[in-house]
Amino acid sequence: MDHFIYRNGVLHAEDVALTEIAASVGTPFYVYSSATLTRHFRVFDEALADMDHLVCYAMKANSNLAVLKLLADQGAGMDVVSGGEYLRAKAAGVPGDKIVFSGVGKTRAEMELVLKGGIRQFNLESEPEMYLLNKVASELGVTVPVTVRVNPDVDAKTHAKIATGKSENKFGIPIAKARAVYAEIAKLPALEIIGIDVHIGSQLTDLEPYRHAFEKVRELTEHLRADGHTIKRLDLGGGLGIPYERSNDAPPLPMDYGKVVRETLGDLGCEIEIEPGRLIAGNAGLLVSSVIYRKQGEGRDFLIVDAAMNDLVRPAMYDAHHDIVPVLEPAAGTETAPVDIVGPICESGDTFTKQRQMPPMQDGDLMAFRSAGAYGAVMSSEYNSRPLIPEVLVQGDQFAVIRPRPTFDEMLNRDKIPEWLAD
């Protein structure tokens, strides 16, 4: 459930008409619902309520400071994958002891930054990384709590670009090698083993891969404890999918995911950590765009809109589906016809959808791409010198721009002409 509904014939975000935001900030723009973000965080928090747990929002899904602050105020921790994300989490007021550092290629500079600022735990992904972290932490005179991200070799049955738990992926350490790696870490004085980490992919629509992976984590917990290691925290990653198509079967609910966690790992006496991103932010956001031209091709109609692949890359990158709806509600019984909805960028890949059944739309009409709150704004670029589009947060009947559209001057002034080229 989200808070984007038609009222009096106009699509609203909570109590604000999207036509009002469009008139104020111009299109295209992203808009997020506070109530939906809060609700999704709480659903996860409640799903694990009877276990010692922390929900660490995977902020790569949507890292706007206002979104982070809203979730942090609910008690969320953060899962970060770069120094920049760490600084954003800090700027949003999240204390270091609620920030987890994940990622396959943490640099020395990032390690130093995070160790100086305070961190809950490092999720290690390779042997060279653990030796470097031990060195950096020793130099700084600190001890770091660590887990190892194990690759359980399960098929998450999701899109190849977002599956991470098979042995051929670049992530983590093969679970079969884990005991040897933990034995090696135990010899490193600046690292303190506290648990195990696993994350098998994103947009999972089935709980069975989770059950399979968690059973392997359970077995590993028992082995590592027998080897004399302290395993008191299990980080289970994120990845629960969302319904991008309303007409399709709904993916599992966090409550059912919580049940799988409890059944497989609940009696180990471990603190449970999870890192959902998409399920918290995805359906909490829309991309609103307007039609520039309606163009009739040969046997094919196009709606050329003012948003493009640089603003929302998911369709071009993952063949992703987004439901697209007109902001003005079509009258009951309005006929639909197939159209291609495309952006203005000079790439055939700048196509949001082909032959989508849509009600008639004209130049200037507004449309909303649903489920665009995660991996939308964060993946945008200024390709074709199109300035980053604004992000807007709604709460009840209020809205605020939480990232303004840069001016053309701001965009141009980032480039510098070297002296030898200057006139």
Ligand X SMILES: *Cc1c(COP(=O)(O)O)cnc(C)c1O
Residue 342, strand partner residues: 304, 351
Q: Residues near 79 by Cβ (< 8 Å), separated by ≥ 6?
A: 56, 57, 58, 59, 99, 100, 102, 238, 275, 277
Q: How far is the CB of 307 from ligand X (least distance, A)?
A: 22
Helices (H) and strands (E) in the chain, counts: 12, 21
Q: How far is the CB of 331 from ligand X (least distance, A)?
A: 37
Nearer to ligand X, 241 or 326 (CB): 241
Kindly identify the residues of this chain, within the stretch 234-293, that bind ligand X according to CB under 6 A.
237-239, 275-279
Interacting span for ligand X (CB under 6 A) from 57-65, 88-96, 300-308, 376-384: 57-65
Q: How far is the CB of 165 from ligand X (least distance, A)?
A: 11
Reported residue count of the chain is 423
| 346 noted as active-site residue | yes
- Give me the 78-117 binding string for ligand X, x by CB under 6 A, dash otherwise: -x----------------------x---------------
Q: Which two tokens stand for residue 278?
A: 């998409």
Q: Any contact of residue 58 with ligand X (CB under 6 A)? A: yes
Catalytically annotated residue among 346, 417, 421, 422: 346
Q: Any contact of residue 61 with ligand X (CB under 6 A)? A: yes
Type of residue at 268: L
Binder of ligand X out of 199, 322, 370, 386 (CB under 6 A): 199
DSSP 227-288: TT----EEE----B---SSTTSPPPPPHHHHHHHHHHHHTTS-PEEEE---HHHHGGGEEEE
Residue 348 CA: distances (Å) to CA of 116, 341, 343: 46, 12, 9
- Give me the 24-53 binding string for ligand X, x by CB under 6 A, dash otherwise: ------------------------------
Q: Any contact of residue 147 with ligand X (CB under 6 A)? A: no
Instruction: Provide the annotated active-site residues.
Output: 346
Q: Would you tell me which residues interact with ligand X (CB under 6 A)?
A: 58, 60-61, 79, 102, 199, 202, 237-239, 275-279
